A and B are shown apart, each in its own frame.
Chain A
Amino acid sequence: MPVNRKKLAALVVAVLATTAVAGSAAASHTGTPGVTKSQIVIGGTFPYTGPAALYKTIPAAEQAYYAYVNAKGGVHHRKIVDKTLDDSYNPAQTVPSVKQLVEQDHVFAIVGSLGTAPGLSTWDYLNKRHVPQVLLATGDAYWGNCVHHKCQGSTKPWTMGWQPDYPGEAKLYAKYILKHKPNAKIGVLYQDDAYGKNYLAGLKTGLGSHTSQIVDAQSYSVTDSGPVIGSHVVHIAKSGADVFVIFATPSAAITALVVEGQIPGWNPLTFNNNVSANRIFMQLAASKGANVNGVLSTTYVASQTAQPNLPGMKLAKKIIHKYAPGGVGSLDQQFASGDNNLVYGLAVGWTFVDALRHSGQNPTRKSLMRALRSMNETNNPFIYPGMVVKTSKKRTFPMEQLIFEKWAGGAAGDWKTSGKILNSGH
């Protein structure tokens, strides 16, 4: 018996040693990391597990889009390889994952990573090493504000967002309230981190001298249990608010909507931030008793269920069907029930490929950033028709347009956009 254990111990040590040595034998890269004659390797961190796992269809859609592009020959005769890692929306896991992508997998760029706090924990590292950290799946205002101005000690020119920023969206909600419900008493539920505080700050800016109309602002933590979040909603109801603004990630937002529906006699005008306004989230909430009719939000991508006949949505359906990472047809059900994250992912993928095409025959990190900072996309088939993705030296936020939408039709219903495309920009 002891002999076997000794062998096992020796084996374990040998394995560990081999791993260490083998890792060191990785080919060193001269020239641009991640770019070879036949491939461009990019990477990103996403919450496949943990409190934000409802977003995991975003990287799936991005990978589907790259597979579609690869099937048609790729970009500059190179196939795009997207290596994604799970960070569970936890910045402590994002840092080692990003280090692995940059230092071991030698990725060309970090593309599409999700999460404000995760992004902030790695942007210093990536900017110091001049690694593009782009098309982040978060609307924090930092991504656009810190290109030319110093934030946390330095400028971050290698970082770029994509979607309309949170304060801009919140300002539109503020303007709507002041216009349609000028004497409103506003209750806010917000996540107690950079993302939630960004939104709240934007709401306050939009309200201007009317900030005192916020009668109750309740913060919650991403790790809070359902009942605790529910208690915050009850607190807001008790404060007499007749407008309820939800700045929460999906699981908390869904909980908030359900609890709101359970409170008898309380029917506030409800705003749901667009990061949690995905159709399937609303349907989940409705299935447990939330009053979803009349809830307001904003959007900037097309909807496969509300606008199925758009050429972009037909293309989206084909791509998701044929190139879903889990196999042909594996995401069809998800797509059909209206998971808008899939369209979002395709839209981001489209922007990246577009920029890559404009980065020259042999892309470098610098040329990629130049292309990304001089975009003028008017034909992205997946974003809301009529909107543009535009950047320049001065314009550091790629998307600055939103359109209001209102939910109708109950548990089987959908969003319906109304009004004009609004400017959410600076």
Chain B
Amino acid sequence: MRRQIPALASLLVVAAVLCVLPFVLSDYNVSLAAQVGIFFVAVLGLNILTGYTGQISIGHGAFMAIGGYTTAVMSRDHHTNLVVTMLMAFAICFVVGLIVGLPALRLSGVYLALVTFALALSIPQIPLQYSTFLGGVGGVQSTETVSNLWIYTAAWTCSAILFVLAWLLLRGRLGRAFRAVRDSEIAAVASGVELPVYKTLAFGISAAYAGVAGSLFVLATNGFAQPSEFDLFLSLELLIGAAVAGLGSLWGVLAGAAFVGLLPQVSTSVPLIGAQHGRDVVFGAAVILVMLLLPDGFAGLLARIRRLARA
């Protein structure tokens, strides 16, 4: 209980700040804060997969694409309520994640990473072939578009709900099983953990989270879903976010989401390099620096601080 009080306090602080922010920030900065929220959801999901079960995926941009297109197409064709489309994205991506998770069982480490990489490149190509239904290269425009504030509220509400969901899942048997898988698959099997079930489940859950993030992402892009929005860079950003976050800390995920959500936007206004090249040079250098200084991500840093504080 004692350990839970500081955690609860930090949660309340975050929630309070999030409620106050829309009133202090300009509309443009609200849209930036919404971006952070969207990445928070996706990075949280990826953290469950990579951090807890040790499976590296460079393809979660593909699940964001599926979620995003679900929202755009349902809104365009059936005028479905946007929140309902997000629930649909969650469900569809969960199933697809399970399907992807099954063959993933046979692949380890790097092979899995590279296959998910291929997934990230391939899935966005599919709308190009089926252009009547999926809009082709012209994309799909949802009927409803929403304000920055709507996206901000939706993104952070989803973040809160999905964070609680993750916390509930991970504190019990599922979390122990996940951690066992990550630490040693052989030992896990030896102690009776059903490897395929948990590994596949982790894929499904992380994919579902990415799907919701994808819906929000498309809504933030003016309700417009297009293949080039879900390029390799997006999947890489998710992975970077998860790595910068590190494992096992809310603040970590927040830091990771803020890093990939804000830094590319902010670095366009770097003086010497100029608006045209600033983003790549500054962001690339920042990624390297952060990893060199904090190889275990922000969570690792915080853990080290806590250990020092206790000592």
Contacts and interface: CB of A to CB of B under 8 A. Distances in A.
Asked whether the complex places CB atoms of A and B closer than 8 A, the reply is yes
A262 interface: no
A251 interface: no
A84 interface: yes
Contact of B276 (A20, A28, A49): A49
A215 interface: no
Q: A6, A20, A83, A124: which has the most chain B beta carbons within 10 Å?
A: A20
Contacts of A96: 265
A2 B138 contact: no
A24 B294 contact: no
Interface in A78-98: 83-86, 90-92, 95-97
B268 A100 contact: yes
Nearest to B300: A5
Given A90-B228, A92-B229, A194 B26 contact: no
Interface in B52-97: none
Per DSSP, chain A at the interface is helix
Contacts of A24: 24-26, 29
A85 B270 CA distance: 13
A92 B228 contact: yes
Contacts of B275: 83-86
Contacts of B33: 20
Interface stretch (B1-9, B106-114, B139-147): B139-147
A16 B259 CA distance: 9
Given A85-B268, A85-B275, A92-B221, A121 B139 contact: yes
Contacts of A2: 304-305, 308
B139 A26 contact: no
B222 A125 contact: yes
Interface string A290-325: 000000000000000000000000000000000000
A117 interface: yes
Given A24-B26, A153-B143, A92 B226 contact: yes
A95 B294 contact: no
Interface residues of A, number: 42
Contact of B137 (A20, A86, A192): A192
Q: Is the interface of B mostly helix, strand, loop or mixed?
A: helix
Contacts of A85: 268, 275-276
Nearest to A104: B28
B267 to A, nearest CB: 10
The CB with the most chain A CB atoms within 10 A, among B141, B224, B231, B293, is that of: B224
Contact of B301 (A5, A48, A83): A5
B32 A48 contact: no
Contacts of B138: 117, 120, 193-194
A152 B298 CA distance: 44
Contact of A91 (B226, B268, B276): B226
Contacts of A19: 262, 266
A20 to B, nearest CB: 6
Interface of B: 24-29, 31-33, 128, 137-139, 141, 143, 145, 148, 221-224, 226, 228-231, 234, 255, 258, 262, 265-266, 268, 275-277, 279-280, 293-294, 298, 301, 304-305, 308
Interface of A: 2, 5-6, 8-9, 13, 16, 19-21, 23-24, 26, 28, 48-49, 83-86, 90-92, 95-97, 99-100, 103-104, 117, 120-122, 124-125, 128, 152-153, 192-194
20 contacts: A2-B308, A5-B293, A5-B301, A20-B32, A20-B262, A23-B28, A26-B26, A49-B280, A84-B276, A86-B277, A92-B229, A95-B222, A97-B268, A103-B148, A120-B139, A121-B222, A121-B224, A153-B141, A193-B138, A194-B137
